[in-house]
Amino acid sequence: MDVISQALALALDPFVLLVVVISAAFGMFVGAMPGLTATMAVALLVPVTFFMDPVPALAAIVTASSMAIFAGDIPGALLRMPGTPASAAYVGETYLMGQRGQVNLALGTTLVASALGGLVGVAALILAAPMLAEVALKFTSFEYFWLASLGLSCAVFISSTNPLKGFLSLLVGLALCTIGIDPTAGVPRFTFGNVDLMGGISFIPAMIGLFAISEILRGVMRLRSKTPPPLAQTGGIFTSVLPLLGRHKFNVLRGSVLGTCIGALPGAGADIAAWIAYAVSKRFSKTPEKFGTGHVEGVVDATSANNSAVAGSWIPALVFGIPGDSLTAVVIGVLYMKGMNPGPMVFLNNPQLIYAVFIIFIIANLVMLPLGWAAIRLARPILRVPKRMLLPVILVFCIVGAFAMTNSVFGVILMLALGLLGWIFEENDFPVAPIILGLVLGPMFEQTFLTSMIKSDGSFLAFFERPIAGVLGVATLLVWGVVLFRGIQRLLSGTPAQPDGPVTPANQGADHR
């Protein structure tokens, strides 16, 4: 009881609360800037934490990371530009909702579901951290291979109405992943002597190009045509969301649990959690045909998952000192810097500090609600800015974001090239989301496959010999089998695959543009 009292005193200190508020505003700003990730928000805060005690230093990191993950949804819903990679999975849904005059509903849903998902993740962190960390540590390259395979299968589910086009887009994403240095042989691959290509295709410029530049090109093409004025935004940010989340409470719980478990896996993180949660939501939805048309159900699952994964990624970091993602890698460095060496002993030597961090997690997720509400209100007038003024400004932000991640002009060129590719794809009804999925999971898929083959001396049976790997492998093969069976069944019955193609901004009605 004394430990809890000490932790409360540390977490509720006025200076710590002030740090939480300032860090929240900073994280909200960085997350809303396309190309600037939650990891970058935390990295920028590290020099400031040198001058702080452990609790306010960790409070700044916890709060900024949680806010940045949510804030990435704001430019996604308004401009179809995901602020962080964790928002890319459902950016199409929230953008289409915004075009229908439902920005308040879209962003209100991501705000409240993010806060709830974060609280579930914190509960898991407090109650089950040692147990979940034990399970996570049993994952070897075999389990990660099947996890990546299962994640790549999501391309079929997130591809709206035409799985074949989604699969082809996924192959493009996987092909782009092969550019750079071979992970096992260490030799350049498809670089054509270009030094910049040796680093591979950077994910952030690719994401900005595929989503934002393609949207800018589409906007330029429409400048001369008479477009209808933006629809008036209806409903309050919270009033319309609470009844909706009441109907989708199971989705919030499912997405949060899934996100926590994926976040606890070292090397996974919020991006993969959001993709898998969105695909699972569509697979088990009663109305899967609505996905890709501005449907909120998948948004609830995915946005709950990416924020709960933030807390989940702290589980292996605190219990074993193993980073769950790039963000907790920075966190571990700060913990060492403050003399809180992560591992089982930190719970014995400094329990009051650990419990204070848990309390700050809860405060950060609660503070997200009023600050998120204010951020949405401030950002919403963007929809009323004329396209002729807005498009050049967006282009400048895109260039700044791409340059900031690569620190070279090559990142800008890469962004523009992939933006053109994304525009061509969408004009021909090919979805671009599977390309992003391939870029996210492709490196893990290749590296774990090659590592496992080396370990097993070329035996494929080794992929099923470990209990968790066996379960994941059978589940993945079942998913593939069901998809193939339905495709063959449709072919034999003579039913056209999907007459209308996938739902992309290019084939939306004029009112949705």
pLDDT digits (tens, 9 = 90+) for 207-242: 778 877 887 888 788 776 665 555 566 667 777 788
Q: Confidence class of residue 133 from pLDDT cuts 50, 70 and 90? A: low
Comparison of pLDDT for 162 and 146, the residue scoring more? 146
pLDDT of 157 over the 70 cut: no
Q: Confidence class of residue 4 from pLDDT cuts 50, 70 and 90? A: confident
pLDDT of 1 over the 80 cut: no
Q: Confidence class of residue 496 from pLDDT cuts 50, 70 and 90? A: low
Share of the chain above pLDDT 90, in %: 1
Q: How many domains does the chain divide into?
A: 1
Mean pLDDT of 280-302: 83
Amino acid identity of residue 226, one-letter, is K
Q: Confidence class of residue 155 from pLDDT cuts 50, 70 and 90? A: low
- Per the structure, the complete domain to which residue 343 belongs is given by 3-225+238-493
Mean pLDDT of 354-359: 84
Domain presence at residue 504: no
Q: What is the DSSP letter of 341?
A: -
Confidence (pLDDT) at 132: 67
Domain presence at residue 54: yes
Q: How far apart are CA 387 and CA 222, in angstroms?
A: 9
Confidence (pLDDT) at 130: 65
Domain presence at residue 335: yes
Confidence (pLDDT) at 229: 58
Domain presence at residue 425: yes
User: In sequence order, which residues have a C-beta less than 8 Å from that of residue 94 and are 6 or more positions away?
Assistant: 73, 76, 77, 106, 107, 110, 294, 299
Query: Using H for helix, E for strand and C for coil, what is the string for 179-247?
Result: CEECCCCCCEECCCCCCHHHHCCCHHHHHHHHHHHHHHHHHHHCCCCCCCCCCCCCCCCCCCHHHHHHH
Comparison of pLDDT for 265 and 244, the residue scoring more? 244
Do residues 322 and 316 lie in contact, with contact meaning Cβ atoms separated by under 8 Å? yes
Domain presence at residue 281: yes
Nearest to 307 by CA among 235, 369, 239, 216: 369
SS3 content of the chain, % helix, strand, coil (to 5): 75, 0, 25
CA neighbours closer than 13 Å in the CB half-sphere of residue 386: 5
Confidence (pLDDT) at 507: 47
Domain presence at residue 92: yes
Digit-coded pLDDT (tens) for 46-97: 777 777 888 888 888 888 887 887 888 888 888 777 777 777 788 888 888 8
pLDDT of 26 over the 80 cut: yes
Confidence (pLDDT) at 494: 65
Mean pLDDT of 311-338: 73
Confidence (pLDDT) at 242: 80
Do residues 83 and 75 lie in contact, with contact meaning Cβ atoms separated by under 8 Å? yes
Domain presence at residue 269: yes
Domain presence at residue 420: yes
Confidence (pLDDT) at 509: 40
pLDDT of 500 over the 60 cut: no
Q: Confidence class of residue 344 from pLDDT cuts 50, 70 and 90? A: low
Tokens of residue 40, six digits: 């970058």
Q: How far apart are CA 310 and CA 269, in angstroms?
A: 7
Digit-coded pLDDT (tens) for 390-441: 788 878 878 887 787 677 888 889 889 988 998 898 888 888 878 877 887 7
Average pLDDT, rounded, for the chain: 79
Q: Confidence class of residue 503 from pLDDT cuts 50, 70 and 90? A: very low
Burial class, 220, CB count within 10 angstroms (exposed 0-12 / middle 13-18 / buried 19+): middle
User: In sequence order, which residues have a C-beta less than 8 Å from that of residue 341 and are 6 or more positions away?
Assistant: 321, 335
pTM, full prediction? 0.73
